Amino acid sequence: MAILQAIGLVKRFDDHVVLNGVDLTIETGGTLVIMGPSGCGKTTLIRCLNLLERPDQGQILFHGESVLSKEIDIRLYRRKIGFVFQHFALYSHLSALDNITLALRKLQGYGREQANELARRELAYFDLSAHEHKFPAQLSGGQKQRVALARALVMQPEIVILDEPTSALDPLMSQEVSLLIKKLEARNITTVCVTHDIAFADQISQNVVFMFQGKIIAQGSVADLAKASAIPEMNWFFGKKRYE
Amino acid sequence: MNEGMPAFYGDLFEQSSLIYLGLWATIKLTVVISITGFLLGIVIFFLGLNANATVRRLVEGYKSFFIGTPLVCIIYILYYGLPALGLRLSPFEVLVLGFTLNVGAYNAGYLLTAYNGLDKSQLEAAVAQGFKSLQVYAYIILPQLLKSSTPALTNQVIYNLKDSSIAFLVQYPEFFARMQELAAGNFDFFRAYLFAAIVYLILTTVIFLFAQYIERRNHWPGRR
Ligand SMILES: Nc1ncnc2c1ncn2[C@@H]1O[C@H](COP(=O)(O)OP(=O)(O)OP(=O)(O)O)[C@@H](O)[C@H]1O
Ligand SMILES: [Mg+2]
């Protein structure tokens, strides 16, 4: 059964149609990759999925129920979706540990001790134990990313959405990020990952969707997409030769 | 009285209890308006972020009005104008009201400047985690703003202390008024106002040292 489904999503900014009827089904478990040229609407799509942007038309169903209906508590829904921003967006006045515990304490009602214990478990899981007292400005890009991931996971989300997790890191780090994403799979968390990086996409999933001008126009493995030639831009994007 | 000693010192000693009361009145006024001005500044700043454009415009108007008009003018309006409307306030109440309205406008401005330098993606991250906008304000925005605007906010406390010397204009018996009386009694204006200046300098130094202490305590790496 699909955990999250977008049906006919339309999003405009003024007169600019950014999402032009997106249909997307995210199955429970596993990793879905969203690819596409710059400006095609990938970030807008995932922002709509957790309602950071409100779509102008269409439906978003979580376990088959509309999250756009008035009865649903948006904030409760958002807690079930971990969101990792492209530039990590850590709270700069809080240590790594407090970044992870803030929502536990203020939203879930955990006491400090209990929250710290849960957070330390995540920190250990991501090899960050030595850095718990550091502030974001004292962490490397890769460490920040893992703190951001730990901050999302400590809330026990059903889905984790990552926007371009490799773009703010050096190319060698993308190998490590793909291992992190494998770790999410091992924890049975459904993962949605936006990326530009074809090799990276190929490493993390066989389930890739290709977006173009506000629509999803193809779905399959990287090899499938590279073979398919729905439009010239897609051939160009996948650099056809490499995957033949 | 010693022949060689200026009358100033004798008068200073004689009036020391009045001067002491004046100093106390000055400190009381400074402390009260610093606190009320601080709190009003936070409220005004918060209203300035309101999604409603009318609210934002009202806040802008408020700030422009109080930053653009001399404080003395506002205090005179309250002191002489309110009784005509049937509202009679004590000099202290008039001063607290006038200063608070003025200082709140300035403090809201400092907070807005700090807010503009804030990395806004953190606010979205908090929303994405499920925080309400009031919680984002309380847990993410305000702590960062208070820390990064500590220098401006404590500077304002120093201004408050110095500006409190206009309180004598509405018959509030603060320190500066007492020193004027002292000077008028023996015509030794130089010594009286030099003495007053030194006392103000000592008080502002205390505030400055306190501000430095707060800033050091609030420091975190990579502060913007
Ligand atoms: N808040 C906004 N207001 C106006 N236009 C916006 C806004 N957000 C995005 N857009 C526009 O929507 C289009 C798609 O943006 P989006 O960020 O979703 O693209 P993207 O596929 O994530 O691109 P990239 O790969 O460069 O990150 C762009 O043309 C962008 O200018
Ligand atoms: Mg993007």
* Partner residue facing B139 (CB), from A106, A136, A138: A106
**Residue with the larger pLDDT of the pair A191 and B88:** A191
Residue B2 has pLDDT above 70, yes or no: no
Q: Which residue has the higher pLDDT, B55 or B1?
A: B55
Every domain of chain B and the residues it spans: 4-218
B72-124 confidence digits (pLDDT tens): 999 999 999 998 888 889 999 999 999 999 999 999 999 999 999 999 999 99
Q: Which residues of A35-68 are buried (b: 16+ CB within 10 A; e: fewer)?
A: bbbeebbbbbbbbbbbbbbebeebebbbeeeebe
Class of domain B4-218: mainly alpha
**Ligand 1 neighbour A55 (Cβ under 6 A):** no
Separation of alpha carbons A94 and A102, rounded Å: 9
pLDDT band of A241, cuts 50, 70, 90: very low
d(CA A124, CA A122): 5
CATH topology for A2-238 is: Rossmann fold (3.40.50)
Residue A240 has a pLDDT of 54
pLDDT at B105: 97
CB-based contact A89 B125, cutoff 8 Å: yes
Token look-up 């009865």 returns A71
> Who contacts A178 (Cβ-Cβ below 8 Å, separation ≥6)?
A200, A203, A204
pLDDT score at A183: 86
Most informative mutation of A18, A19, A45, A209 for ligand 1 (most atoms within 8 A of CB): A18
Domain coordinates in residue numbering, chain A: 2-238
pLDDT tens digits along B14-65: 888 888 999 999 999 999 999 999 999 999 999 999 889 999 999 999 999 9
For residue range A17-55, list pLDDT tens digits in order: 999 999 999 999 989 999 998 999 999 999 999 999 999
Tell me what the pLDDT averaged over chain A comes to: 91
Supply the ipTM of this predicted assembly.
Answer: 0.91
* pLDDT given for residue A115 in this prediction: 96
Residue position matching structure tokens 């710059």: A38
3-state secondary structure of B156: helix
Nearest partner of B62 among B51, B78, B74, judged by Cα: B74
Residues of A at the B interface (Cβ-Cβ below 8 Å)? 50, 52, 75-76, 78-79, 81, 83, 85, 87, 89-93, 102-103, 106-107, 134-138, 148, 151, 155
- Closest residue in B to A101 (Cα) is B129
